[in-house]
Structure 1
């Protein structure tokens, strides 16, 4: 069959990744981390379809649906791998995958076209691209005929961390009918599924024509469609972002693609939208917990996986990930050790799904460890709070070439800046001047100031703050390149 429709990747970039704590935090969740290679998971997802034949009609501009707080991360990471001018739709608040796909379908069809949409979560791993491409081409042929297609992973073991799809009869248009969906099972039920032979892991990958999805969501969950349409009708453009109206979207119920539509289609033959599943064997993992990362990483002779600086003796079947310090392990079996600048996780490898309970405890205690890293990324670069005490804080600040912080003022703190690399353009009160390496300046309390990097290499400074209050919300912003809210540095 000749494929005629444009194929638009829809990258679903929501989620907080609590089971991958402490590396994953609310402000920097796992889809923005490079866990299984040189690229981040978002970048890998965006590059995953490169190499499809021209007949697939792959669009060069994907649609990305992400949380508004992650917009600059998403844009900068995509630009870094050559994905320019994507349509980045910003969810004012997370509402699960069905509203996210609805926003994407409305965005994709806004210009009067009706493309095929391939919805891909941004936090999955696929190691066999040719196998994925073959499955995508097969799914296109089925979706062209008006079906909604999901991809079921051929299960090779009982797995309690995944949902399952029970496939039915083979379909003339390709793939299989869907008998049922099942939530994450216990160990005995998972083993029974594998023995039955007709269960697949639920991948969360979907292909459907934009108009077909909108027709399906209108019939199955009209409340979701109504809220999303209202939000997109009043959406505004902000730099490279599409901002659905926050008040309208707040009325949208939260639901998944499976619950909202896929499970209901067999009960709605009047819609004439077949729901089918295509088996996929492409080295897939959703990296839902640390044991899943151990599965996909290379292993040494003792079946250990290591990332970063780790020295081991008599350790087996374990994962060691170091971000800053040397990890030394002796006589350890089947454990996970994850080190970051401000937290260390040690867990039985069979219990990594329970890390979310640690995150819940930390939230109950009001700990910032669940929200942000010590190193905080901003659209202009990043800063790392390297020391602090009563009335002082020390930060290492790196500013990208050509970037600048907002023009701002503080009521409760003064700042000392020392340039250690590059050239700084400093606005301090009514003066603007350049500082080179090993030069410094003092920003008195209450002075309007700005830091910019006019050079072609990253600017690095050491900032010493002193004062009665050092919180990030002590900012009066006068001008900002990035259109951020006043309380964000």
Structure 2
């Protein structure tokens, strides 16, 4: 790397709930954290993909990840699983769309007086041809270095109605870099067909490159209200370990707006020039189970499978088994997804409508829209393995050196049995150590804590008993993870 190398900062926009991929994707564990293609999650792939852009004349700085408060420990856990990548995490108290998210990142990236080039990408996409992506991004970085905006336009292979489109200047069809004429929102089918036939339109993947100063100038020109309110929340941020927390009250006053609506669609006939780089690299946003099937590795009968699956006389199906054997006989064109607490079956062509099931779950106040049976926590995880009248049974794993919060419950008592490792248990004013096959009882209302002081994994079985067993029956006296009583 030369001393004059261009400094870039990957900006990973890690929001969204991915309701169309229920029951794998849920509000508490959305699709960007799922492994749907390859060995890593979509979020991890986005990080690695942008970090691999670096070359002799391009230096990659620490990434900035903008995510929801609810998903902070998922981000942290998945960051730990990949090596060689350093990142800061900007936490949104609630989603305000992509324009405020990028503005937060630009303010953080430039706060020490520099003006790095921001390589902006959503966290929930796949791109199969990594070198083609790197080549396109390196061209985009050179454009952004000159002060223009560079956006990737995905080769449109079908008349999709769920994507936005980018229209390039007529007569530049043979060039990999084109002037952008306009951005078009999601069209109806006939309009989308005309776009494909014209050859002037590409899909808008939301991947673009821009100097931090150019973004701040553009958002200040077109939406000064977003810039001023985001700046106020950012300037009153608090640093909490690995997290940057904008002021919650000020953040909630920021207008909810996308990057495209706030800036991109307003750049025409302005001082802000946009160039489109064409990309044909096996891109997919995995926006439905049908697109997951399209991107998947198919067998001789065009079935895509995951897990313990048996198939007979079946074609063009997507079958995802998470916890048990799924067998399929004599069907075609279906999506079948099995998890520990839900089974979903749909025709592939109607898979966009899975979101309607999520809406029903919401209207009925059912937990299956929010969490899996197995729930990640900063200290490990728990798996609710049985629930009945006045009892709940959990399998709990605590990571080496980790502790749950010092807490108490007003409506339930708990029985703990150690099945693996060694536990340090605080109950009232006493602290004891439990080995495998030893147990203890936590009375209702008693202050308690479960800790794993060893370098080995701790696993216990917890049996709760009481007249209310919801996760919100908790009062935290002390917590090492910055959680409040409202966090389960």
TM-score tier after normalising by the smaller chain length: over 0.9
Look up the match of 1:257.
Answer: 259
Q: Deviations over 1:239-289 (max 9, x none)?
A: 110111111111111111111111111132xxx321121101121111111
Look up the match of 2:205.
Answer: 203
- For the 8 Å contact 1:142–1:174, the answer to whether it is kept is no
Look up the match of 2:425.
Answer: 426
- For the 8 Å contact 2:53–2:60, the answer to whether it is kept is no
**TM-score, normalising length: structure 2:** 0.96
Q: Is the counterpart of residue 317 in structure 1 residue 316 in structure 2?
A: yes
Rounded Cα–Cα distance in structure 2 between residues aligned with 1:404 and 1:19: 35
Rounded Cα–Cα distance in structure 1 between residues aligned with 2:13 and 2:313: 41
Q: Which moved more, 1:45-54 or 1:128-137?
A: 45-54
Q: Is the counterpart of residue 399 in structure 1 residue 398 in structure 2?
A: yes
- For the 8 Å contact 2:110–2:212, the answer to whether it is kept is yes
Q: Deviations over 1:394-417 (max 9, x none)?
A: 001011111110011112211111
Look up the match of 1:437.
Answer: 436
Per-residue deviation, 1:119 = 0.7
Q: Which moved more, 1:465-474 or 1:392-401?
A: 465-474
Q: Deviations over 1:405-463 (max 9, x none)?
A: 00111122111111111111111222222212211111112221111112222211110
5+ residue gaps, structure 1: none
Map residues 29-428 of structure 1 onto 2, 5 A cutoff: 29-82=30-83, 85-169=86-170, 170=172, 175-268=177-270, 272-428=271-427
Per-residue deviation, 1:37 = 2.0
Rounded Cα–Cα distance in structure 2 between residues aligned with 1:314 and 1:52: 44
- For the 8 Å contact 1:90–1:242, the answer to whether it is kept is yes
Per-residue deviation, 1:370 = 1.1
Report SS of the residue matched to 2:455: coil
Per-residue deviation, 1:180 = 2.2
Q: Deviations over 1:147-167 (max 9, x none)?
A: 111100012223233221111
Return closer, same or farther for 1:53/1:249 CA change in 2, 3 Å cut-off.
closer
Per-residue deviation, 1:326 = 1.0
Q: Deviations over 1:458-479 (max 9, x none)?
A: 2111100011221212212111
Q: Which moved more, 1:78-87 or 1:141-150?
A: 78-87
Per-residue deviation, 1:2 = 10
Rounded Cα–Cα distance in structure 1 between residues aligned with 2:320 and 2:286: 15
Report SS of the residue matched to 1:54: coil
Aligned residues: 485
Q: Deviations over 1:185-232 (max 9, x none)?
A: 333332222221121111110100000000000001111101110001
Rounded Cα–Cα distance in structure 2 between residues aligned with 1:238 and 1:444: 33
Rounded Cα–Cα distance in structure 1 between residues aligned with 2:311 and 2:186: 34
- For the 8 Å contact 2:165–2:185, the answer to whether it is kept is yes
Per-residue deviation, 1:175 = 1.8
**TM-score, normalising length: structure 1:** 0.96
Q: Deviations over 1:9-52 (max 9, x none)?
A: 00000001111111111111011111112211111111113443
Per-residue deviation, 1:55 = 2.8
Per-residue deviation, 1:385 = 0.9
Report SS of the residue matched to 1:204: strand
- For the 8 Å contact 1:423–1:455, the answer to whether it is kept is yes
Rounded Cα–Cα distance in structure 2 between residues aligned with 1:418 and 1:326: 30
Rounded Cα–Cα distance in structure 2 between residues aligned with 1:165 and 1:362: 36
- For the 8 Å contact 2:182–2:268, the answer to whether it is kept is no
Rounded Cα–Cα distance in structure 2 between residues aligned with 1:476 and 1:364: 28
Report SS of the residue matched to 2:46: helix
Q: Deviations over 1:86-107 (max 9, x none)?
A: 1100111111111111000001
Rounded Cα–Cα distance in structure 1 between residues aligned with 2:115 and 2:57: 15
Per-residue deviation, 1:3 = 6.8
Q: Deviations over 1:323-367 (max 9, x none)?
A: 111111111111101111111111110111111122122212222
Return closer, same or farther for 1:177/1:123 CA change in 2, 3 Å cut-off.
same
Rounded Cα–Cα distance in structure 1 between residues aligned with 2:21 and 2:4: 39
- For the 8 Å contact 1:3–1:55, the answer to whether it is kept is no
Look up the match of 2:485.
Answer: 486
Rounded Cα–Cα distance in structure 2 between residues aligned with 1:314 and 1:6: 55
Report SS of the residue matched to 1:347: strand
